[in-house]
Amino acid sequence: MQIMRSLVIFLFALPLAATAEVRLPNLLSDYAVLQRNQPVRIWGWGRVGEKITVKFHNQTLATQVDDLGEWETWLHPEQAGGPYSLTVSGDATAHPIVRKDILLGDVWLASGQSNMQFPLSGFPGAPLKDGPKEIAASNHPTIRLLLQKRATSPVPLEDISETWTECTPATASQFSAVAYFFGRGISEREHVPIGLIDATWGGTPAHSWISLGALATGNFTSVFDEGAQIALDQLRADKIRGSNEREDAVLKSEGKPVPSHPNMPGDRQGSWAPAGLFNAMIAPDARFTIKGVIWYQGETDTDPQRSHNYARLFQTLISDWRQQWYEGDFPFLFVQISSYHSPADWPLVRDAQRRALALRNTGMAVTLDIGEANNVHPPDKQTVGMRLAQIALASVYGEKVEGSSPEFLQATTEPAAMRVWFQHAEGLTTHDLPLGGFELAGDNRIFKPAMAKIEKIGETETVLVSSPDIPSPRFVRYDWSDVVTSYLYNAAGFPAGTFSSE
């Protein structure tokens, strides 16, 4: 009996992979898109020591399961094409794994909060512009979609539960509208298969999407303080809720009326825990070779408790993801949050997003002109996706198109005025409307509204800003309000975003 008990304990102590057949992650499912023109990691799990053979298109590769029950190999770069099959076999596994209808193209990961999550079917009370028409026209055999379920985890996960699908009205209707319009724009222009991964969760802060290691290295103590406070509030709420339930049960058994109770604070299903979303929704993707990322988030971080950290936090997120993927500084394109009536620090976060353009291979789509003062979810996601696609076409795909908004470069002082210099500013115009939104401040940093006019210096278009109330200006800023009503466009039709020279 003692020998049998020891044997059972020994068997349960073995690593799971030691007794498992060869397995692939769900990211490598039927209908997947693999990244063209780059080495592509193929990986999975199996029995320790098992010899693995991978076949794809004209390639045959061999590897072996390591002592942790994992294996990986790399496909050599190939041009766009397909459909192809991926076959993985092991010398100790009875039947090979076959994944069918796989394309080679460009893979983009879309992430962020609700404005990126916003599907083609819209949200309750917030429909997509021309939603039914867009859904009906969403049959695209060479666009593939991977919609990840919302999930959190205290530790990094190895896999997700979802698989790839073809882009059809049924699958696209619940997919990120911004990501869909972005991918459609790239597909129509570049004529290559496009894979889109939707990893989004509405109402979430940036710190949930960053690894614990990066948060710790960045010394974001306020993030961990807030996480601890949420946990304490949840413990108190659970205790009060349990007490109320016991008391209500006694009253109900006695036939007495049960009182109503105020809502207790929740933990937001764990979505605000530091690194919680990174662990469950980003870490599993980091082995999958991608072209780049599109990102739309920041509304939650306009809260004054977090807004002062956002400039550093957002740049940490970008650098962290690039380190996790080991693909170098891949393109990271993001949306400057829109115009919305709120007492929070919306302009501060918009300027923090602009400052992330200091990082290599980044691009920012400005959306101030399509926001709605009383709707945090503007219906025009077509324009958002198109502007992101234009940035990608210009900066990633090398197309000869203007992809960027007028981008603040520097501000220089002149007698009783400041001159603002831009990049991507050819053809500055307000479309015959007054040029507003500019403010000046002196050494005291108290900003006041200012007059502005477009002036051409040589071949460069600038904006001269002055105010009789600020005779010696030192700082200038633009569209520094929650709701913006003044827009400055370049010839390509892209508006300038919020900025401050401070």
pLDDT in the model for residue 231? 80
Q: Are 347 and 337 in contact (CB under 8 A)?
A: no
Report strand pairing: 97-112 vs 59-64. Answer: unpaired
Q: Please compute the mean of the pLDDT values over residues 296-301 and round it to a whole number.
A: 98
Distance CA 17, CA 9 (A): 17
213/264: higher pLDDT: 213
Distance CA 41, CA 20 (A): 21
Say whether both 281 and 172 belong to one domain: yes
Q: What confidence category does residue 16 fall into, taking pLDDT thresholds of 50, 70 and 90?
A: very low
Does 390 have pLDDT greater than 70?
Answer: yes
Say whether both 187 and 280 belong to one domain: yes
Q: Please compute the mean of the pLDDT values over residues 449-468 and round it to a whole number.
A: 96
Reference 181, options 148, 146, 134; nearest CA is: 134
Q: Are 75 and 58 in contact (CB under 8 A)?
A: no
Instruction: Answer with the one of 375, 403, 431 that is the final residue of a domain.
Output: 403
Domain limits for position 113: 106-211+275-403
Say whether both 342 and 411 belong to one domain: no
Whole-number Cα distances in Å, 198 to 149, 162, 164, 275, 403 = 9, 11, 11, 18, 23
Q: Are 122 and 131 in contact (CB under 8 A)?
A: yes
Does 265 have pLDDT greater than 90?
Answer: no
pTM: 0.93
Q: Please compute the mean of the pLDDT values over residues 378-390 and round it to a whole number.
A: 98
Distance CA 416, CA 257 (A): 73
Say whether both 362 and 417 belong to one domain: no
Phi-psi region of 408 (alpha: psi -120 to 50; beta: other; left: phi over 0): beta
pLDDT in the model for residue 11? 40
SS (H, E, C) 285-345: HHHCCCCEEEEECCCHHHCHHHHCCHHHHHHHHHHHHHHHHCCCCCCEEEEECCCCCCCCC
As a whole-number percent, the residues of the chain with pLDDT over 70 amount to: 96
Query: How does 400-409 read in b/e, with b if 16+ C-beta sit within 10 Å?
Result: eebbbbbbbe
Does 451 have pLDDT greater than 90?
Answer: yes
CATH of the domain at 188: 3.40.50.1110
Question: Per residue in 140-176, pLDDT tens?
Answer: 999 999 999 999 999 999 999 999 999 999 999 999 9
pLDDT in the model for residue 234? 78
Report strand pairing: 140-147 vs 194-200. Answer: parallel
Say whether both 314 and 432 belong to one domain: no
Q: Are 171 and 162 in contact (CB under 8 A)?
A: no
Does 10 have pLDDT greater than 80?
Answer: no
Question: Per residue in 418-431, pLDDT tens?
Answer: 999 999 999 999 99
Say whether both 201 and 338 belong to one domain: yes
* 239 domain-assigned: yes
pLDDT in the model for residue 272? 94
pLDDT in the model for residue 378? 97
Q: How is residue 4 annotated by DSSP?
A: H
Q: Please compute the mean of the pLDDT values over residues 248-257 and round it to a whole number.
A: 90
Say whether both 426 and 386 belong to one domain: no
Q: Are 229 and 268 in contact (CB under 8 A)?
A: no
Does 9 have pLDDT greater than 80?
Answer: no
Say whether both 361 and 484 belong to one domain: no
Whole-number Cα distances in Å, 302 to 49, 347, 416 = 51, 8, 33
Q: How is residue 263 annotated by DSSP?
A: P
Question: Per residue in 309-338, pLDDT tens?
Answer: 999 999 999 999 999 999 999 999 999 999
The first and second tokens of residue 263, run together, are 């809502």
Q: Are 425 and 456 in contact (CB under 8 A)?
A: no
Question: Per residue in 54-75, pLDDT tens?
Answer: 999 999 999 999 999 999 999 9
Say whether both 251 and 264 belong to one domain: yes
Distance CA 310, CA 353 (A): 8
| Number of domains making up the chain | 3
Torsion of Cα atoms, 118 then 280 then 29 then 109, to 10°: 50
